[in-house]
Amino acid sequence: MPKKQINIRVDESVYVGIEERAAAAGMEVNEYARQLLADEANDLRHRFLVAADHFAGEWADHFDDRFGADGHGAAPSRRGDRAA
């Protein structure tokens, strides 16, 4: 499949952020940008993210009740006054 080229201009602050994220991922900036664009164009990934967002919206309260809303581990299940 032939390759297409995209040229974009971004503000310096945006570039610095991309550069930092690329370095953290162990990638060159152009490789990182190529991967981001490929991920964004991936329909299966997009459908997964939409479904995950829907799932989180529907079940977030249940997870908070069970595991706590602070994100620091599970809240104990209560059976009487004991942790289960």
Mean pLDDT of the chain: 84
Beta bridge pairs of residue 78:
83
User: Cα(19)–Cα(21) distance, rounded to whole angstroms?
Assistant: 6
Contact criterion met (CB below 8 Å) for 76 and 45: no
Residue 82 has φ and ψ, to the nearest 5°, of: -95, 150
The whole-number pLDDT of residue 16 equals 97
Task: Give the pLDDT score at 20.
Answer: 97
Question: Residue 84 has what pLDDT?
Answer: 45
* pLDDT, position 43: 86
Residue ranges of domains in the chain: 10-41, 43-76
The whole-angstrom separation of Cα 6 and Cα 8 is 7
Task: Work out whether strand 78-79 and strand 82-83 pair parallel, antiparallel, or are unpaired.
Answer: antiparallel
Residue 49: per-residue pLDDT: 85
Low-confidence residues of the chain: pLDDT under 70: 70-84
